Amino acid sequence: MGRAKEDAFLYEKIADELGEMIARGALRPGERLPSVRRMSEERGVSVATVVAAYQLLEHRGAAEPRPKSGHFVRARAGADTPVPTTARRAPAPTRVSIHADADDLIQVMLQARRGQVPLGCAYVATELLPLRKLNAILAQVAREGGGPGGEYADLRGSLQLRRQLARRAVRWGVALEPDELVTTLGATDALNLALASVTRPGDVIALESPTYFAFMRMLEHHGLRAIEIPTDPQTGLDLDALDDALRRAPVRAVLCSPNFQNPLGARMPDEQKERLVKMVARRGVALIEDDVYGDLAHDGSRPRAAKSFDRDGSVLLVGSMSKTLAPGYRVGWLAPGRWDEAVVRKKSAMTLACPTPTEMAVAELLDEGGYDRHLRRLRRAIADQCARYREAIARSFPEGTRVSRPQGGFVLWVELPQGTSGIALQAEALERGIAIAPGPIFSARQRFQSCIRISTGFPFSPRIERAIATLGKIAEELAPKRAA
Ligand SMILES: Cc1ncc(COP(=O)(O)O)c(C=O)c1O
């Protein structure tokens, strides 16, 4: 390896480590970073490498130089979002029927694509994805004989893909055989198969609060009731509140994302994942774990899935390639645990078979080994984007605004000053060609009226900066005026 390349790796590594310490609060806003000389001696790296690392942190908005004093952790106007709940206790289960207005809001957001500033839906810019390579593999797969596409795939899905996924599962801390996996049409199909296999209409599902808005649509579709569990923006589901809910309500399944939850970006610590899995196993409750953001840790690590603590098949693990590779390929999977037979039966009834060519193309890409290199680049890009969007929000939004500090994924949860309507902000923003997601769609009870979610999936640019400044101005206008 050439020295230049080694240095490139080192300065990023140092910047990532320091960034992680800042994210964890081990280095606080306003605190001085070690001097360049000290850092260079301690790490045994050149002064130039440390300078490059500090410049990268500066670029990410995490540190700032002060004349003749060194580098400091940047003070942020937006504090971390507090636990977004008014009560520690989960309210009683509620039948999910999405209010027509909320449904309209979701519809508006999903359709808000062309020409609008894309801060609404959670997907990354195509330029960050290896689509050219993946499409070339797909073309090659299609050229090689009439096999793929000419026959129905195995009911469980392409064996080649399941083998690759079983190999990758080691990184999630999970030991899986290819025959313990079922491929699906994205995570959405996997989640629906899981819900259809585990529940009957009228059952109660415990959800994080706030949670991914499409979960509410799924629950409504399956005739289920929701119980919303308070969720911490850093550590995820409040397990004491969940335990309490499991005692009080006949909960059939817990549906959650322990790794980089959408919309908060929370990462549940491993001990809590273990406690969660033990809790559901003890009560015979299913845990549907949505891990679509698991590969997108900002600090480069790959957290374990809660499924890694599963001893009796209580956990149904859901994943897909939509957030990291190609949402349009619709390649997802499900490791159904003890619901395996039920899931395979449901798949035969609902889908029969997934498209083979796309599954084979993804399997080939995984086999080639280029996926990990791509993931490293993607993680760095989204960590950088998140930091820069966060900074822009802190600069532009009214006082009293709070912004989440996600540890992975690429969405930000913004709590506006009390009384400011997230729905009004969405409407005004749309008028000006900016798409965002309003808070109430992330709750079965339309809570979080003063919140919005901003997706940071696109590289930061002057256009995005202007859009965030515009959002800040609208929020300022909408914020209730304090009496003079
Ligand atoms: C938590 C979560 N699960 C699932 C999905 C959908 O995944 P897919 O496109 O693979 O169906 C999304 C997309 O935003 C998501 O945020």
Q: Which atom of ligand 1 is nearest to the CA of 121?
A: 14
CA of 291 to the centre of ligand 1 (A): 9
Residues framing ligand 1 (Cβ under 6 A):
122, 186-188, 212, 257, 262, 290, 292, 320, 322, 327, 332
Pairing of strands 94-95, 225-232: antiparallel
Atom of ligand 1 nearest to the CA of 190: 11
The burial of 307, by beta-carbon neighbours within 10 Å (0-12 exposed, 13-18 middle, 19 or more buried), is given as buried
- Nearest CA to 179 out of 340, 66, 315 is that of 340
Q: Give yes or no for a cis peptide into 263 (omega within 30° of 0).
A: yes
User: Which phi-psi region, left, alpha or beta, contains residue 338 (left: φ > 0; alpha: ψ -120 to 50)?
Assistant: alpha
Sequence length of the chain is: 484
- pLDDT at residue 102, as a whole number: 63
Of 123, 185, 212, the one to substitute when testing ligand 1's pocket (max ligand atoms within 8 A of C-beta) is: 212
Q: Give the span between the Cα atoms of 87 and 229, in whole angstroms.
A: 10
Question: What is the assigned CATH class of domain 131-371?
Answer: alpha beta
Record: fold of 3-73: Arc Repressor Mutant, subunit A (1.10.10)
User: How confident is the model at residue 85, as a pLDDT?
Assistant: 40
Q: How many whole angstroms separate alpha carbon 415 and alpha carbon 426?
A: 14
Q: What's the 407 CA to ligand 1 centre distance in angstroms?
A: 18
Among 167, 170, 168, 174, smallest CA distance to 311 is for 174
Which pTM value belongs to this model? 0.82
Amino acid at 89: R
Pocket test for ligand 1, best of 262, 289, 324 (most atoms within 8 A of CB): 262
CA of residue 332 to ligand 1 center, whole Å = 10
The span from the CA of 127 to the CA of 115, in Å, is 16
Cα(214) to ligand 1 centroid in Å equals 8
**Is 356 strand, coil or helix?**
helix
Query: In terms of Cα–Cα distance, which of 215, 209, 273 is closest to 241?
Result: 209
Atom of ligand 1 nearest to the CA of 212: 1
Instruction: Quote the ligand 1 centre to 320 CA distance (angstroms).
Output: 8
Residue 111 CA, ligand 1 centroid: distance in Å: 16
C-alpha pair distances (Å), 348 with each of 182, 199, 316? 11, 18, 18
Phi and psi torsions of 418, nearest 5°: -45, 135
Structure token pair of residue 89: 């206790």
The domain ranges of the chain are 3-73, 98-127+373-478, 131-371
Q: Which atom of ligand 1 is nearest to the CA of 321?
A: 10
How far lies 406's CA from each of 65, 346, 383, 448, in Å?
Answer: 24, 35, 9, 18
Digit-by-digit pLDDT tens for the chain (484 residues) are 344 444 557 888 888 888 878 766 678 777 889 889 888 888 888 888 888 888 888 877 788 877 677 888 876 544 444 434 434 556 666 655 555 556 666 776 666 666 899 999 899 999 999 999 999 999 998 887 666 777 788 899 999 999 999 999 999 999 999 999 999 999 999 999 999 999 999 999 999 999 999 999 999 999 999 999 999 999 999 999 999 999 999 999 999 999 999 999 999 999 999 999 999 999 999 999 999 999 999 998 999 999 999 999 999 999 999 999 999 999 999 999 999 999 999 999 999 889 999 999 999 999 998 899 999 999 999 999 999 999 999 989 998 899 999 999 999 999 999 999 999 999 999 999 999 999 999 998 888 999 999 999 999 999 999 999 999 999 999 998 765 4
**How is the chain split among helix, strand and coil, in percent rounded to 5?**
50, 15, 35
**CATH domain 98-127+373-478 topology:** Aspartate Aminotransferase, domain 1 (3.90.1150)
Residue of the CA atom closest to atom 14 of ligand 1: 122
Whether 71 contacts 30, CB under 8 Å: no
Q: Which residues of 121-132 are buried (b: 16+ CB within 10 A; e: fewer)?
A: bbbbeeebbbee
CA 207 to centroid of ligand 1, rounded, Å: 15
Locate tokens 């390649």: which residue? 331
- Residue closest by Cα to atom 7 of ligand 1: 187
Distance CA 316, CA 192 (A): 12
Q: Is the separation of the CB atoms in 471 and 396 below 8 Å?
A: yes
DSSP 247-303: HHS-EEEEEE-SBS-TTT--B--HHHHHHHHHHHHHHT-EEEEE-TTTT-BTTS--P
User: 13 C-alpha to center of ligand 1: Å?
Assistant: 29
CB atoms within 10 A of CB 156: 22
**Does residue 256 contact residue 207 with C-beta atoms inside 8 Å?**
yes
The amino acid sitting at 339 is W
CA of 406 to the centre of ligand 1 (A): 17
pLDDT for 147:
67
